Structure 1
Amino acid sequence: MQTMLASSGQAELRQDGWAAHNIWQNSASVRALYTARARDEAEEMECLAQAAELLTPLAEPGDSLIDAGCGSGYFFHSLRKRKLALDYHGFDATAEFIEIGRRELSPFGLPPDRLQHLRLEDFQGSADHLLSINLLSNLDNYHRPLERLLKAARKSLILRESIKQGADYRYVRDAYLDPGVTLSVHVNAYDRQDLIGFIEARGFAVTEVTDRRSGGQPEEVIGYPHWWSFLVATRRAMPA
């Protein structure tokens, strides 16, 4: 949704700028997909299946999990189907996605208050495990948000992002939005050595795991290459 400029001589200050430029709430097709996923009517994403498998040996019954950038919370189904008894919570910056998840996941046993409308910039909390799937690559940079997630992870952080040798930063138009919407999005690939070093310096051991869906090869998303890879970060020591 684009906002018309005020006429000459007038100033206008509003508080809806972030929402107005949020690509995720300007795609009817994504909303429909996230609804189908929350209803368990869509095929499980391969990356979520792999994330659940990576989480399984790390998690103990009763452990808690925060899904950062959870969309409509459909990772809950990946846990439920594998009988992973984790205390699932999720947050997402797009209010419509949270509304979908609260409505559609409740019949599967997830209390609505487990999903929160929240931007990563405003997140403060902790859990035994943190999950972040395809989130940081669409932000302007990874340092501050990743540090926030690492501080919150008592035991582990499972991360899937675009990672390769040498960083690649792009800010490009998303041509797959609703008709008449012209917005741009960050499409970043982060340098492997820099990213892993950043995580290790904050008290974690890191294992890189080849992304099963893409097989370590670049995958086109909205017309641009993404080098998907998993990082499994396990805490060595709690922060001072």
Structure 2
Amino acid sequence: MIADVTQNGWDRFSIWGHSATVRELYARRCRREAEEMTAHAQAAEILSQRIAPGDSVLDVGCGSGYFYHSLTGRNLPVEYWGLDACAALIGIGRDILPRFGLPAERLIEARIEDLNAEVDHVVCLNVLSNIDNYHRPLERLLKTARKSVVLRESLKQGAEYHYVRDDFLDPGIDLKVHVNHYDVDEVTRFAASYGYRPEIIVDRRSGGQPELVIGYPHYWTFMVADRIASDRGDN
């Protein structure tokens, strides 16, 4: 039998490109037709205490880049960049957000593993909990930022790792996704080992209580890490 070997496996087996409901929601958020996410409002307020005029912000796992509105809506003087691995979601932002002043080339289709950058601030919201583990991607974010990393993930006392079916995808799509909860003390120690001073902040939306997402509990928590060491080299 002839083998069939292609390179489209990431797109085929990733949940993010298989929900028309998500694509429609992200488009409405880009058009400012949907209410601002509480997590985005909180992240923007956290950044507002750290941003200097002309600073750059990289939104990792940006979806379609609508966090841009949270920054511009507060008149924060930053250069926004967004990165996401899902071509369909990045395409939505490239199509809509230039109407609001964001150049399309500021939205980059790439995975965290592809990231090789240096920016002032990195924001990563609700991303690392849905991949296999946090160590390598968080290391990349910590090495990328000059000043701070703002993270919102499922963090609690004691780690748990789950790989579960996502029942909220398009009809006929049968895919699983990681729903991981990382140990909060372990994650903060990891950030500190890269020259940061991490701080845990209670998530405003959930109030520190578990919240069901795709039917599974998430323990949303903000970790804000401010760089205290100037060396961005290898640890």
TM-score range, shorter chain: over 0.9
Structure 2: distance between partners of 1:92 and 1:214: 25
Structure 2: distance between partners of 1:100 and 1:80: 19
Q: Does 1:239 align with 2:227?
A: no
Structure 1 segment 73-88 matched on structure 2, within 5 A: 73-88=65-80
Structure 1: distance between partners of 2:118 and 2:19: 31
Q: Does 1:34 align with 2:17?
A: no
Aligned partner of 1:156: which letter? S
Structure 2: distance between partners of 1:137 and 1:160: 9
- Residues 30-68 of structure 1, C-alpha deviations (whole Å, 9 max, x = no match): 000000000011000000000000000100010001000
Unaligned runs of 5+ residues in structure 1 are: 1-8
TM-score, normalised by the number of residues in structure 1:
0.95
Instruction: Report the counterpart of residue 165 of structure 1 in structure 2.
Output: 157
Unaligned runs of 5+ residues in structure 2 are: none
Q: Does 1:103 align with 2:131?
A: no
- Residues 198-233 of structure 1, C-alpha deviations (whole Å, 9 max, x = no match): 000110001100000000000000010000000000
Structure 2: distance between partners of 1:169 and 1:201: 23
Instruction: Report the counterpart of residue 166 of structure 2 in structure 1.
Output: 174
Structure 1: distance between partners of 2:23 and 2:213: 17
Structure 1 segment 56-67 matched on structure 2, within 5 A: 56-67=48-59
Q: Does 1:48 align with 2:48?
A: no
4+ residue stretches of structure 1 with deviation over 6 A? none
Give the CA deviation at 1:10: 3.2
> Which of 195, 210, 222 is equivalent to 1:203?
195
Aligned partner of 2:107: which letter? L
Instruction: Report the counterpart of residue 25 of structure 1 in structure 2.
Output: 17
Structure 1: distance between partners of 2:196 and 2:51: 16
- Secondary structure, aligned partner of 1:128: strand
> Which of 82, 87, 91 is equivalent to 1:90?
82
Give the CA deviation at 1:11: 2.1
Structure 2: distance between partners of 1:44 and 1:215: 18
- Secondary structure, aligned partner of 1:198: helix
Structure 2: distance between partners of 1:21 and 1:158: 28
- Secondary structure, aligned partner of 2:76: coil
TM-score, normalised by the number of residues in structure 2:
0.97
Structure 2: distance between partners of 1:103 and 1:177: 23
Instruction: Report the counterpart of residue 110 of structure 2 in structure 1.
Output: 118
Aligned partner of 1:120: which letter? I
Instruction: Report the counterpart of residue 206 of structure 2 in structure 1.
Output: 214
- Percent identity over the alignment is 56
Structure 2: distance between partners of 1:31 and 1:115: 16
Give the CA deviation at 1:239: 2.5
> Which of 120, 123, 131 is equivalent to 2:123?
131
Structure 2: distance between partners of 1:108 and 1:97: 17
Aligned partner of 1:63: which letter? D
Give the CA deviation at 1:168: 0.8
